């Protein structure tokens, strides 16, 4: 089986293989399927990236594997810890590009915010990742490598024990990039997250956030239904066409119908709508009432996100009063609403504060005339929703 997207040089990267792919690869080597399972567990449950450490493999196999394959995670560049327990890692994904991964501990769960692309091509007007432009899709190895790193970094016990101690209990695909624009690699990485021989997370604990790439949301329903978050941000097409330009291609009626259909297969029977609060743009009483009408008939929860500023952006964050007024209207209509809290702001790990590195191939940073020629800009990686 060809596994080019997770290859390093000529050798396939085992870190980015699903268990069926690894089994097929081992079959090519004339090795039994249970050998593939052993290696898969060593990599994902014991955090091992060195064949020599796989002590229950035959010596001959331990010698053969490095000649035909690698286990290569993105390199760790920096690590920071906040006094509130939030942790942040900057990972090197080559050619000047870096991605940041954030771990947000809460009393009942530990959430890891994972990136899917270097930059994003969709160009939402309020989003600094969009304004950074796009470089490339992350490989499956680079996506799952974020979880692999986080587990390794967090638990010496985890790294030393093949049994493992799962500290990351939830994944949100809410970092840099549009996950449904990197469908194959993201779904393969989610397969590994869900696999009992790897991280064994339930579908309910893996959430994919999308701005609404409708055809791929339809495919996701069949391929790998996980919990769903949708970046709504507007209560009508005219406004959403401006804020989330992909709406021009897949307008609200189409998106909402697809969400309804997706929920038939989803592990949670509701969608979480994300709604960034932009002062004087989408936060009026009228918008709130229009929104209530728009989503009637859809099982949903709302996560209101106070907008995080970035240089030269043409927006301001809604006032606390406006956010609470908006929240109250939604709640009075019977909707469940949370307002996202800031975490890890002392290490610049809060929403909109993260500084990844994007070498922009679209040259959008210049097109947007953001007043800076720097390729390195602040990117938002979102954290879990919390009720105020």
Shortest Å, Cβ 229 to ligand SF4: 11
Contact criterion met (CB below 8 Å) for 121 and 178: yes
Residue 106 annotated in active site:
no
Nearer CB in complex with ligand SF4: 155/245: 245
Long-range CB contacts (within 8 A, 24+) of 219-222: 219/183, 220/180, 220/183, 220/187, 220/262, 221/261, 221/262, 221/264, 221/265, 221/266, 222/265
- Nearer to ligand SAH by Cβ, of 87 and 340: the residue is 340
State yes or no: residue 99 binds ligand SF4 (CB under 6 A): no
Decide if residue 282 touches ligand SF4 (CB under 6 A): no
Q: Does 14 bind ligand SF4 (CB under 6 A)?
A: no
Rounded alpha-carbon distances, angstroms, from residue 380 to 2, 127, 354:
35, 7, 6
Strands (E), the chain: 7-8, 11-12, 75-81, 87-92, 98-106, 109-113, 117-119, 134-137, 170-173, 206-210, 227-231, 271-277, 300-306, 336-339
Q: Residues binding ligand SF4: what is the number (CB under 6 A)?
A: 11
Stretch that binds ligand SF4, among 27-35, 122-130, 163-171, 355-363 (CB under 6 A): 122-130
Among 105, 110, 130, 306, binds ligand SF4 (CB under 6 A): 130
Q: Which residue number, 31 or 274, has a Cβ lying nearer to ligand SF4?
A: 274
Q: Give contact residues for ligand SAH (rule: CB under 6 A).
A: 126-128, 174, 178, 209-211, 231, 274, 276, 305, 307-308, 310, 351-352, 380, 382
Asked if residues 49 and 40 have their Cβ atoms less than 8 Å apart, the reply is no
* Residue 272 binding ligand SF4, by CB under 6 A: no
Active-site entry in 120, 124, 300, 351: 351
Least spacing, CB of residue 388 vs ligand SF4, in Å: 23
Adjacent-strand bridge partners of 227: 207
Q: At what angle do helices 214-223 and 183-194 cross, to 10 degrees?
A: 30
Q: Kindly state whether residue 178 participates in binding ligand SF4, applying the rule CB under 6 A.
A: yes
Q: Does 211 bind ligand SF4 (CB under 6 A)?
A: yes
For residues 3 and 304, which CB has a smaller minimum distance to ligand SAH in the complex?
304
For tokens 């052993």, the residue is: 38
Q: Residue 132, interface with ligand SF4 (CB under 6 A)?
A: no
> Which of these segments, 75-83, 89-97, 127-135, 337-345, binds ligand SF4 (CB under 6 A)?
127-135
Cβ atoms of 1 and 24 within 8 Å: the answer is yes
- Containing 62, the helix (H) or strand (E) segment is helix 59-68
CB of 102 to ligand SF4, least distance (A): 15
| Residue 303 within binding range of ligand SF4, rule CB under 6 A | no
HEC assignment per residue over 323-352: HHHHHHHHHHCCCEEEECCCCCHHHCCCCC
- Contact between 122 and ligand SF4 per CB under 6 A: yes
Q: How far is the CB of 244 from ligand SF4 (least distance, A)?
A: 6
| DSSP string for 239-264 | HHHHHSGGGGTS-HHHHHHHHHHHHT
Nearest to 169 by CA among 236, 78, 104, 250: 104
Q: Applying CB under 6 A, which of residues 93, 127, 229, 266 lies at the interface with ligand SF4?
A: 127
DSSP assignment letter at 13: B
Place of tokens 């956010």: 323
Tell me which stretch binds ligand SF4 (CB under 6 A): 46-54, 121-129, 154-162, 355-363.
Answer: 121-129
DSSP for residue 169: -
79 is known as an active-site residue: no
For residue 257, the minimal CB distance to ligand SAH (Å) is: 19
By CB under 6 A, is residue 120 in contact with ligand SF4?
yes
357 contacts ligand SF4 (rule: CB under 6 A): no
**According to CB under 6 A, which one of 129, 187, 353, 383 is a site residue for ligand SF4?**
129
172 binds, among ligand SAH, ligand SF4, none (CB under 5 to 8 A by kind): none
Residues that bind ligand SF4 (CB under 6 A): 120, 122-124, 127, 129-130, 177-178, 211, 231
Q: Could you list the active site residues?
A: 100, 351
């Amino acid at each position: 089986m060809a596994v080019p997207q997770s290859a390093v040089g000529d050798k396939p990267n085992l870190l980015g293989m699903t268990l069926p792919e690894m089994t097929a690869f081992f079959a090519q080597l004339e090795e039994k399927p249970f050998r593939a399972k052993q290696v898969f567990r060593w990599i994902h449950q014991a955090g091992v990236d060195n064949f020599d450490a796989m002590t229950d493999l035959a010596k001959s196999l331990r010698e053969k594997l490095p000649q035909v394959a690698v286990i290569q995670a993105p390199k760790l560049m920096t690590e920071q810890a906040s006094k509130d327990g939030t942790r942040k890692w900057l990972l090197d994904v080559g050619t000047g590009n870096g991605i940041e991964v954030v771990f947000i501990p809460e009393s009942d769960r530990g959430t890891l915010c994972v990136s899917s692309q270097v930059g994003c091509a969709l160009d939402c007007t309020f989003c600094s990742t969009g304004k950074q432009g796009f470089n490339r899709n992350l490989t499956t190895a680079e996506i799952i490598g974020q979880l692999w790193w986080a587990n390794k970094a967090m638990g010496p016990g985890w790294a030393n024990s093949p049994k493992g101690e799962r500290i990351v209990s939830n994944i949100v695909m809410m970092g840099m990039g549009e996950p449904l624009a990197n469908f194959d690699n993201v779904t393969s990485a989610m397969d590994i997250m869900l696999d009992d021989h790897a991280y064994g997370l339930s579908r309910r604990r893996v959430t994919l956030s999308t701005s609404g790439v409708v055809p791929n949301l339809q495919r996701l329903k069949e391929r790998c239904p996980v919990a769903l978050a949708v970046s709504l941000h507007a209560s009508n097409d005219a406004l959403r066409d401006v804020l989330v330009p992909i709406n021009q291609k897949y307008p609200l009626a189409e998106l909402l119908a697809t969400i309804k259909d997706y929920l038939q297969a989803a592990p949670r029977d509701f969608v979480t709508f994300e709604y960034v609060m932009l002062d004087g743009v989408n936060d009026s009483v009228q918008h709130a009432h229009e929104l209530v009408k728009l989503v009637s008939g859809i099982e949903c929860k709302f996560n209101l996100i106070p907008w995080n500023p970035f240089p030269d952006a043409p927006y301001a964050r809604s006032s606390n009063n406006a956010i609470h007024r908006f929240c109250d209207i939604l709640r009075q209509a019977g909707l469940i609403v949370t307002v996202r809290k800031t975490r890890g702001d002392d290490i610049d790990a809060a929403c909109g504060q993260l500084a990844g590195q994007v070498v922009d191939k679209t040259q959008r940073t210049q097109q947007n005339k953001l007043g800076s020629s720097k390729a390195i800009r602040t990117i938002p990686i979102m954290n879990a929703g919390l009720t105020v």
